[in-house]
């Protein structure tokens, strides 16, 4: 694992983005730290220790997905998120759950590739510029004074490229032809085989001349040059290792695949999904195009509201594989205030930055923030409780006027969002949710 954060440090990092939900944060932090601890043990005992998977119980919009996502990002772990209900759909075949692990492998490959690309970026960029200069040379030189030495022309092109002055010029370049991906034998429990990719390894890639914009050529060249500089086989192997040791699978809507509700048909398929998930959660080996992947040490985090069913409605086998159950709380007034003012990625910061581009200087007064929080709570109480997601629609409405009218070609305009501003601009929301009687 890339990072050796203690449980406390992990919680500290999560605190920057997610308000409250301490129980859930603590559980995921411990699970992560246990992985690190496990990695330090002798291999015989290490093989024995499997992750303690977690179920997060809580209503919509309270941070379940966000916690998993931030956690994965923090420790650079590959993460996939699936909706358990997806597997109850018509046409579903039991083996389809294995696609979760294949998707995780793809995520992991992208992650590792990105890291490797970053390492060789400088070299790859240099080679990319060289190729672009060569491609552009003739057409560029024809516009320069006739006596300008070639080296100077090349330097000028380089300077223009670096300053994106040639992005939209058209160049003719040779690019490797894309092999048409043809997934075969899908859903038959076979590996998804890509003929193009299989042959791609054997046959040299066919080159094709194409006229494209410089900016697009730059991207293509950069990828090609980066790939030349890294060991792609090693990427696959490292990606598999990461999935096996650090992978996280987030299964949403786990509460919707319980057999609760009686009757036939769909219930059978829902319990069927639980049965199909079991081997993956318990530990099995899945074939992927990067090689076989053992799922024994992948951390599974399941989530659900459990409004209409209970954890106990899950099959005992599956329950047994999720020994840790944590509850997440509804978002309160205090939470809303903190989500707005104390988080690293807060919507207030986002809008302030966005509008600054168009010469609007937004500032938020304490009583303005409190008013937004109050309206959010009331809207959630009187209508569907959508948790922190409520803030997205409220902020959008609040700033709609400014967002629409700001053009950037005016001097800087100061806008102070205080209680009066909020009440004035959210009067429509208040009417819609019939909140006027509480607010004004
Ligand atoms: N406790 C919180 N602190 C800060 N932001 C939060 C919190 N809870 C939710 N959010 C924000 O609200 C949005 C929705 O949160 P998230 O996706 O985690 O919801 P969820 O609990 O997974 O809901 P669902 O059950 O609908 O999937 C995200 O933008 C997230 O950043
Ligand atoms: Mg979610």
Domain coordinates of the chain in residue numbers? 7-105+244-327, 121-229, 333-436
Among the listed residues 16, 20, 61, 19, the one whose alpha carbon sits nearest the alpha carbon of residue 394: 61
Q: How many angstroms is it from 60 CA to the middle of ligand 2?
A: 7
60 within ligand 1 shell (Cβ under 6 A): yes
Ligand showing the shortest atom-to-Cα distance for residue 63: 1
Dist. CA 55–CA 31, nearest whole Å = 12
Dist CA 211 CA 174 (whole Å): 9
pLDDT (mean) for 230-238: 89
CB atoms near residue 415 (< 10 Å)? 16
pTM across the whole model: 0.82
Q: Which of 95-99, 106-110, 417-421 has the highest mean pLDDT?
A: 106-110
> Given a cut of 60, is residue 41 above it in pLDDT?
yes
Give 393 Cα–ligand 2 centroid separation in angstroms. 17
- Counting from 1 in the atom list of ligand 1, the atom nearest the Cα of 391 is 12
Residue 292's pLDDT is: 95
Give the whole-angstrom CA distance, residue 62 versus residue 39: 32
Side-chain-facing half-sphere of 368: CA atoms under 13 Å: 20
Candidate from 14, 66, 333, 346 with most ligand 1 atoms within 8 A of CB, to mutate: 66
Asked if residue 330 has its Cβ within 6 Å of ligand 1, the reply is no
* Closest ligand relative to 344 C-alpha: 1
- Given this model, what pLDDT does residue 100 score? 94
Do 239 and 105 contact (CB within 8 A), yes or no? yes
Which sign does the torsion angle of CA 389, 390, 391, 396 carry? positive
Nearest CA to ligand 1 atom 19: 61
Report strand pairing: 207-213 vs 170-176.
antiparallel
In tens, the pLDDT along 7-29 reads 999 999 999 999 999 999 999 99
| Domain 7-105+244-327 part of CATH 3.40.50.720 | no
3 state DSSP class of 292: strand
- Let me know: does 300 contact 321? Beta carbons within 8 Å: yes
3 confidence band (pLDDT: 50, 70, 90): low
CA dihedral defined by 369, 375, 378, 383, rounded to 10 degrees? -130
Q: What is the pLDDT of residue 260?
A: 63
Ligand 1 neighbour 61 (Cβ under 6 A): yes
Whether ligand 1 lies within 6 angstroms of the CB of 387 is answered as: yes
Q: Which residue out of 62, 84, 347, 349 has the highest number of ligand 1 atoms within 8 Å of its CB and is therefore the one to mutate?
A: 62
pLDDT at 306: 92
- The confidence score (pLDDT) of residue 198 equals 52
- The verdict on the CB of residue 18 being under 6 Å from ligand 1 is yes
| Ligand 1 atom at shortest distance from the alpha carbon of 19 | 3
Q: Are 298 and 243 in contact (CB under 8 A)?
A: yes
CA-to-CA dists, residue 183 to 179, 197, 203, angstroms: 12, 10, 19
pLDDT, tens digit (0-9, with 9 covering 90-100), for 238-287: 999 999 999 999 999 999 988 764 445 555 578 888 888 999 999 999 99
Contact 85, 253 (CB under 8 A): yes
**Which ligand minimizes its atom distance to the CA of 18?**
1
Ligand 1 contact, 19 CB (< 6 A):
yes
Looking at per-residue pLDDT, the higher value among 414 and 439 belongs to 414
Report d(CA 106, CA 102) in Å as an integer: 6
In percent, how much of the chain has pLDDT > 70?
88
pLDDT of 101:
96
pLDDT at position 383 is 84
User: Does residue 248's CB lie within 6 angstroms of at least one atom of ligand 1?
Assistant: no
Residue 305 alpha carbon, nearest atom of ligand 1: 25
Residue 62 in this model has a pLDDT that exceeds 90: yes
- Ligand (nearest to CA of 58): 1
User: What class does CATH assign to 333-436?
Assistant: mainly alpha
Residue nearest to atom 16 of ligand 1 (CA): 63
Best residue among 22, 60, 63 to mutate for probing ligand 1's pocket (most ligand atoms within 8 Å of CB) is: 63
- 339, 388 in Cβ contact below 8 A? yes
DSSP H helical segments within 2-149, as ranges? 7-15, 22-39, 43-48, 64-75, 98-119, 121-141
């Amino acid at each position: 694992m890339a990072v050796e954060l203690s449980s406390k440090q992990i919680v500290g990092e999560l605190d920057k983005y997610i308000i409250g939900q301490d129980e859930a944060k603590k559980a995921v932090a411990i699970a992560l730290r246990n992985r690190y601890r496990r990695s330090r043990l002798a291999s015989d005992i290490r093989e024995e220790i499997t992750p303690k998977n977690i179920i997060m119980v809580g209503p919509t919009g309270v941070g379940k997905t966000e916690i998993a996502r931030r956690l994965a990002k923090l420790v650079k772990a590959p993460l996939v998120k699936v909706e358990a209900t997806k597997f109850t759909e018509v046409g579903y075949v039991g083996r389809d759950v294995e696609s979760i692990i294949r998707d995780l492998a793809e995520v992991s490959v992208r992650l590792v590739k990105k890291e490797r690309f970053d390492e060789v970026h400088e070299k790859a960029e240099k080679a990319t510029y060289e190729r672009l200069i060569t491609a552009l040379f003739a057409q560029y030189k024809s516009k320069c004074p006739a006596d300008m030495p070639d080296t100077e022309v090349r330097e000028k092109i380089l300077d223009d490229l670096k300053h994106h002055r040639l992005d939209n010029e058209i160049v003719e370049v040779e690019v490797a032809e894309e092999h048409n991906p043809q997934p075969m034998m899908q859903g038959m429990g076979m590996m998804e085989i890509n003929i193009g990719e299989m042959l791609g390894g054997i046959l040299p890639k066919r080159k094709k001349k194409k006229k494209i914009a410089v900016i697009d050529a730059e991207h293509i060249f950069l990828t090609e040059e980066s790939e030349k500089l890294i060991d792609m086989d090693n990427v696959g192997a490292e990606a598999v290792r990461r999935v096996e040791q650090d992978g996280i699978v987030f299964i949403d809507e786990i509460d919707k695949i319980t057999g609760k509700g009686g009757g036939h048909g769909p219930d059978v398929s829902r319990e069927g999904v639980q049965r199909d998930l079991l081997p993956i959660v318990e530990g099995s080996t899945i074939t992927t195009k990067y090689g076989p992947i053992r799922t024994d040490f992948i951390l599974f985090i399941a989530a659900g509201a459990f409004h209409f069913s209970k954890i106990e409605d899950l099959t005992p086998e599956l329950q047994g594989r999720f020994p840790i159950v944590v509850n997440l709380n509804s978002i309160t007034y205090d939470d809303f205030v903190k989500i707005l003012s104390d988080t690293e990625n807060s919507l207030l910061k986002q809008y302030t930055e966005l509008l600054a581009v168009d010469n609007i200087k937004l500032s938020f007064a304490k009583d303005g923030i409190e008013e937004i929080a109050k309206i959010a709570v009331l809207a959630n109480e009187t209508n569907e409780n959508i948790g922190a997601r409520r803030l997205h629609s409220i902020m959008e409405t609040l700033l709609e006027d400014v967002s629409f009218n700001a053009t950037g070609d005016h001097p800087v305009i100061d806008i102070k969002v205080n209680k009066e501003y909020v009440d004035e601009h959210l009067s429509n929301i208040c009417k819609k949710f019939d909140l006027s009687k509480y607010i004004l």
